[in-house]
Structure 1
Amino acid sequence: MPVTSIEKDLDALTMTIVADFPVPVSRLWTAYADPRQIEKFWGPPEYPATFTRHDVVAGGRSDYFMTGPDGSSHGGYWEFLDVVEGESFTVRDGFSNDDGTPNTDMPSMEMAFAFEEASQGSRLVTVTSFGSLEQLEQLIAMGMEEGTREAMGQIDDVLADLASFAAARSTEAQVLSETKVRVSRIIRGSVEQVWRAHHDAELMKRWLLGPDGWVMVTCDLADSVGDTFTQEWERAGGGDRFGFTGELLESTPPHREVTTESMIGMEGDPSINELTLTAVDGRTLLALVITYPSSEVRDIVLGTGMVDGMEASYARLERELVAV
């Protein structure tokens, strides 16, 4: 059990949790920065978490839900107030309604996470600050202390699973809901390099090609929110042209952007693509959450070999960055 102490200060309205781990600080930080890993331990064992957004950057946000044994869903969010990469972050933690908006009927709290070196490896000190004694007592009565112990007791298994954060791991897709899929890949390169690779047309034409044998013939980028983009490919030598178009909805360089995406010539509602880039141990975790119009569209797209094509493209991207 990694938790070594839990102290409640009723005068300061805080609860401090200290936990020790036999791994380097960088490994522990990655477990919290990578949505694929944090969702394996953030909820108690009987209430596993699913993160649909996880922007570990000041001004960023995380959205998640915990699924109970009876199938019930319980939403939560983090608003990142401060982030010092590899060392600490502070969030506003609260409950969410079914539509993702904050549940103002429930208390929110500020949580500060500090990652420190320790004699046996690393130490995590989490200080939760409550708005009032009533809030503190309410959340303790709801089982916050016991839930925290159970949740953190799962971290050891995640930290021992080195494959979960190996830089050589290939692109993977995880179904998050009926319509959401998260595609993830660790890229050898900085966040700034990977962001530029998604916003330099000539560079994109060299790596965003999918399987061998295709060329990108059109790469018109959206520079500002509200602009549209067009991307088209065809087989080397010509033929079988296809492409996508969409609109830039949000942009927070160099960490996050949101776009719509529709296949040219196809009717129907667009997909929504949420790209997040997170620095992890000198590399970049690329996470793309795709929201499809329906589960049927989701399954059709996944069945096309999309993930294999993305892996081929990201492998080319790495070669481009290594050559710089």
Structure 2
Amino acid sequence: MKSDLTMNFSVDKENKTVNVTREFNASLSNVWSAWTEVEILDQWWAPAPFKSKTKRMEFKEGGRRLYAMVSPEGDERWSFFEYTSISPKKNFKHTSTFCDADENPVPNFGSSLWDISFSEDGELTVVDIVIKRDTLEEIEQIIAMGFKDGFTSALKGLDKILEAEK
């Protein structure tokens, strides 16, 4: 497996965003599928040792994905995505909201807006992600919750899945 794949992670405090750029040694089609098909998404979305468990997913504008990150002890941390824009194999946008198993949002925490773009660079696929929050405090809280390490770990899990598809 190629180990020198680029990952850039930065926080733009002025614009209240987290910016992640990540290369994958796989085709655009395979990377797009990994982000948009529940059978693949559940294999990598949660950082080990957590597992991702989707209760429902409709990948369409106005559709939702309701899922939990499940700890080894069985504790479930629920969230939902609401897809707001989809341009196949180029970009999709969604909100991400912490909630309970019945989709009731966690009070006083708001949502993240994810803007995810896909492009090819030779043999690699590049995914550019911009995650925007309402306040800098919310960005700092997500970082403090371990988002960078957790997301980095999940993306490494995606590398293994994509490598196995070759």
The normalised TM-score by structure 1 is: 0.48
Cα separation, 1, equivalents of 2:124 and 2:143: 30
Partner AA of 1:139 in structure 2: I
Q: Residues of 2 paired with 1:110 and 1:30: CA distance?
A: 21
Cα deviation, residue 138, structure 1: 0.9
Which of residues 29, 45, 49 is equivalent to 1:46?
Answer: 49
One-letter identity of the residue aligned with 2:135: S
Distance 2:27 2:95 in 1: 26
Alignment of 1:124 onto 2:127: yes
> Which structure has more RCO (C-alpha within 8 Å, separation ≥ 6)?
2
**1:141 and 2:144 matched:** yes
Q: Does the CA contact (< 8 Å) of 1:3 and 1:153 recur in 2?
A: no
Which residue is 2:92 aligned to? 89
Aligned counterpart in structure 1 of residue 106 of structure 2, from 70, 87, 103: 103
Aligned to 1:11: 14
**Contact 1:31/1:38, CA 8 A, preserved across alignment:** yes
Q: C-alpha deviations, 1:232-283, integer Å up to 9, x for none?
A: xxxxxxxxxxxxxxxxxxxxxxxxxxxxxxxxxxxxxxxxxxxxxxxxxxxx
Q: In 1, distance between residues paired with 2:147 and 2:127?
A: 18
CA distance in 2 between partners of 1:67 and 1:43 (Å) = 8
Answer yes or no: is 1:115 the counterpart of 2:118.
yes
* AA aligned opposite 2:57: H
> SS where residue 39 of structure 1 aligns?
helix
Unaligned runs of 5+ in 2: none
1:49 alignment partner, SS class: strand
DSSP-derived class of the 1:58 partner: coil
Q: Over alpha carbons, which structure has the higher Rg? A: 1
Instruction: Find the counterpart in structure 2 of residue 276 from structure 1.
Output: none
Counterparts of 2:56 and 2:115, CA distance in 1: 19
> What is the Cα deviation at residue 3 of structure 1?
5.2
Alpha-carbon RMSD across the aligned residues, in angstroms, is 1.5
1:30-51 deviation per Cα after TM superposition (whole angstroms, max 9, x unaligned) = 1111101011111111211011
Question: Counterparts of 2:92 and 2:41 in 1: how far apart (Å)?
Answer: 14
Q: What is the deviation of 1:105?
A: 3.5
| Structure 2 counterpart SS, 1:40 | helix
- Amino acid corresponding to residue 144 of structure 1 in structure 2: F
Q: CA deviation at 1:71?
A: 1.3
Q: How does 1:223-234 map to 2 (within 5 A)?
A: none
Q: Distance in 2 between matches of 1:131 and 1:110?
A: 9
AA partner of residue 157 (structure 2): Q
Distance 1:120 1:19 in 2: 14
Q: Residue 65 of structure 1 is aligned with which of 55, 64, 68?
A: 68
Over the matched positions of the two proteins, sequence identity in percent amounts to 23
- Note if contact 1:67-1:73 (Cα within 8 Å) is conserved in structure 2: yes
Task: Measure the CA separation in 2 of the matches of 1:67 and 1:3.
Answer: 28
1:37 alignment partner, one of 36, 40, 45: 40
